[in-house]
């Protein structure tokens, strides 16, 4: 088998921020992982997530616009952070239900009891403090 580097197709109409917007509306809650490759209309809802680290914490950041804080479920088990929600929205035209789930693997050694989360402007930030044994330690050479 030969591996060939994938050539990205030239920017199509999907990628260009068109001045005249004649396309169909594309409203969705968030961009999913595969948007850039397959266009924006796949049936899956898996929000994209970022993972960061500093000396004391790991941070996960997920875009979840338009959510209710108390409808977001967070679970951290065996180094896997799972963010999920399901919601039924009642509008004048009827009911629409909506759900998603996203799991991110997080490095080992999170102090589980100190995990906190903040939701602001549609972005969820989960702060996961590192346990004592996983913090960087300065070792002096004698």
- The residue ranges that bind another protein (CB under 8 A) are 11, 14-22, 25-31, 33, 35-36, 40, 48-55, 58-59, 61, 63-67, 104, 107, 119-123
Cβ 141 to another protein, closest distance in Å?
25
Query: Which single residue is written with the structure tokens 């068109």?
Result: 18
Here the tokens at position 61 are 């950041």
Main-chain phi, psi angles of 22, to 5 degrees: -115, 0
**DSSP secondary structure letters along 105-138:** E--S-B-GGG-EEEEETTEEEEEEEBPGGGS---
Residue closer to another protein (CB basis): 128 or 141: 128
Cβ 140 to another protein, closest distance in Å?
23
Cβ 142 to another protein, closest distance in Å?
29
Residue closer to another protein (CB basis): 3 or 88: 88
Rounded CA gap, 85 and 97, in Å? 11
Rounded CA gap, 47 and 81, in Å? 13
Cβ 75 to another protein, closest distance in Å?
19
Half-sphere exposure of 50 (CA within 13 A, CB side): 10
């Amino acid at each position: 088998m030969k591996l060939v580097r994938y050539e990205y197709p030239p920017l199509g109409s999907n990628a260009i921020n068109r001045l005249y917007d004649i396309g169909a509306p594309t409203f969705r809650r968030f961009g999913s992982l595969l948007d850039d490759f397959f266009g924006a209309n796949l049936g899956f809802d898996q929000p994209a997530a970022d993972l960061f680290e500093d000396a004391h914490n790991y941070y996960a950041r997920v875009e979840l616009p338009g959510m209710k804080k108390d409808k977001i479920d967070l679970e951290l088990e065996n180094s896997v952070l799972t963010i999920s929600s399901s919601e039924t929205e009642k509008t004048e035209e009827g009911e629409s239900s909506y759900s998603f789930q996203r799991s991110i693997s997080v490095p080992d050694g999170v102090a589980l009891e100190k995990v906190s989360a903040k939701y602001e402007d549609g972005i969820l930030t989960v702060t996961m403090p590192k346990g004592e044994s996983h913090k960087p330690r300065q070792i002096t050479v004698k």
